[in-house]
Amino acid sequence: MTPEHPSRLAEALRRHDWLLSAWPWRALAYLVSTVPIAGVLSIGLLVIVGPLLAAVNALRLHGRPPSLALMLFLATSSLILLALAPIVSFPVAAVERWRLRLVDGRPLPSPSWPGLAARYRSAGTWREVAYLFGLGGVAPIAYWVFLVLVLLDLGMITSPWLAGDPTESVVILGRVESTGEAVPYAIVGVLLLPVFCYAGGLLAAVQAAVARWALAWPVDTAALREVARSRTRLVGAYEAERRRIERDLHDGAQPRLTSLTLQLGLARLDVPEDSPAARPLAVAHDQARGLMVMLRQLVHGIRPQSLTDLGLAGAVRELADAATVAVTVHADVDGELPEIVETTAYFVVSEALGNVARHAGATRADVRLTRVGGDLVVEVSDDGGGGADPSRGTGLTGLADRVAAVDGRLLLSSPPGGPTLVRVELPCRR
C-alpha cells in the first residue's frame, strides 16, 4: 500500500490521523478476538501452573516439599502437554495467521500439514508452540493489566455521577464524597481516553509483531544454498558461453568479414566507374564495412578486448579518456581478479559514466577501484544534480541485476542537488 494507506498497524500508529481512521477499531477487533483464544490456552496452562504454584507456595511458607503424587502429576502433565502442543498449535496458528490480517495487510502464507513426524522435527513448529505458550501465559496478564487501567479510567469519568449519591463514596486515588471533588478526576479520565486508544493500538501492534515473527516459517537455508550454487553455476556457464561466442566472432567471423571487405574494395578499383556493376559493388562494399563496425561492437560488448590487453585498471582508464566529462581514475587493484568480476566491474563503470554523461549534468566524475578484504569495491561519483531514480529507466535496475548475478550488491546515494555516488561491492571468491 501507499504511505497514504498504511498496510499495518505499526505504520498507522505513527500517523497524526490515527484516532480518526479505521485502525483503532481494527486494533480493538484484534484484541477482543484474542481474548477467547488466550482464555482457552491459559486454562490448559493452569492445569500445570496452578498445582506447581501451590507446591512452590507450600514449600516457601511451610517448608513442606511437594508430595510424590503431585510430582508425578506435574511430570506426566508436562510431557502430555509438550507431546500435544505441536499438533494443537497447527490449527491455532492457522487461525492466528488469519486474524493477523486485521492489523497487518502483508500476506503470511500458511504451511500445509507436513506429516506427524515432520511436524515434531520442524523448527517452525516449535516457534508456533512458543507463541501459543506466550499467548496463553503472557497475553492474559498484559490484557488484565490493560483492562484494569481502562476500568479505572472509566471509573474516573463516571465518578461525578457515582459520587452524587450522599449515602456512598467513591474510591479512586483517594476517597471522593462529592460531585465537586470528582469533577477533576473525570476531566483527567476524559483526557486519558486518547492515551488508552494509543496504548491499546500499541499492545495490538506488539502482539502482531511477535505473531508475525513466530508464525512466519523460517526460510529453508539448505534450499537457499542450493539456489545460490545453481545461480553461480549458471552465471559461470553463461560467462563461458559469452567468451566462446566472443572467440568465434573475433577469430572466425571477423577475419573472414575483413577479407571480404578487402576483396570488395579491390574489386571496386578494378571496375570502371561507368560500369553497370560499379554501383552495386560500392553498395556491397559499404555494407560490408558497416557490418565490420557492427561486429566489432558486438565483440566489444561481450568482453572488451581492452580488458584482456590492459587489465581492469587500464580498461577503465580507457573508458575515462573516452568520456565526455573529465574523469579521474584511482585504481588500487593489485592481484589477479576473476574474469566475471572484471567484466562486471568494467560494465558498471561504463554504465555509470554513461549515466553521468546523459543524465547528471555533471562537469567531472571520479572512479575508484579498491580491494577491501575479499571484495572489489567500485565507486563512481559525480558533481551533477543528483536525483537518480532506478524507476526512471536510467539503467540502474539492469546494473543492479548484473551485480546481483555475481552475488554482489549495489548502493546508490543521489539526493536532489547531488552529488551522486554509485558503490558496487563484488566478492572475489574463486
pLDDT per residue over 330-361, tens digit each?
888 877 788 888 888 888 888 888 888 877 77
> What's the pLDDT at 255?
72
For residue 300, what are the contacts with CB-CB under 8 A and spacing of at least 6?
none
State the Cα–Cα distance between residues 22 and 29, nearest whole angstrom.
Answer: 11
Helical pair 254-270 and 278-302, crossing angle rounded to 10 deg? 160
Higher pLDDT, 346 or 266: 346
> What's the pLDDT at 144?
92
Closest CA to 156 of 120, 135, 200, 187: 187
- H/E element holding 44? helix 23-62
**What is the chain's length?**
430
> What's the pLDDT at 71?
74
* Greatest C-alpha distance within the chain: 130
The total of other beta-carbon atoms located within 10 Å of residue 95's CB is: 12
| 410: amino acid identity, one letter | L
Helical pair 396-405 and 339-355, crossing angle rounded to 10 deg? 170
Q: Which residue has the cell 565507486?
A: 379
Q: How confident is the model at residue 34 (pLDDT cuts 50, 70, 90)?
A: very high
Model confidence pLDDT, tens digit, residues 167-222: 555 555 566 666 777 778 788 888 989 999 999 999 999 999 898 888 886 655 55
Q: Which residue has the cell 552475488?
A: 407
| 190: amino acid identity, one letter | V
Does this model's pTM top 0.75? My answer is no
**SS3 for 413?**
strand
- Adjacent-strand bridge partners of 370: 332, 377
For residue 182, what are the contacts with CB-CB under 8 A and spacing of at least 6?
159, 160, 162, 163, 170, 172, 176
- Rounded to whole angstroms, what are the CA distances from 256 to 261, 262, 263, 291? 9, 10, 10, 12
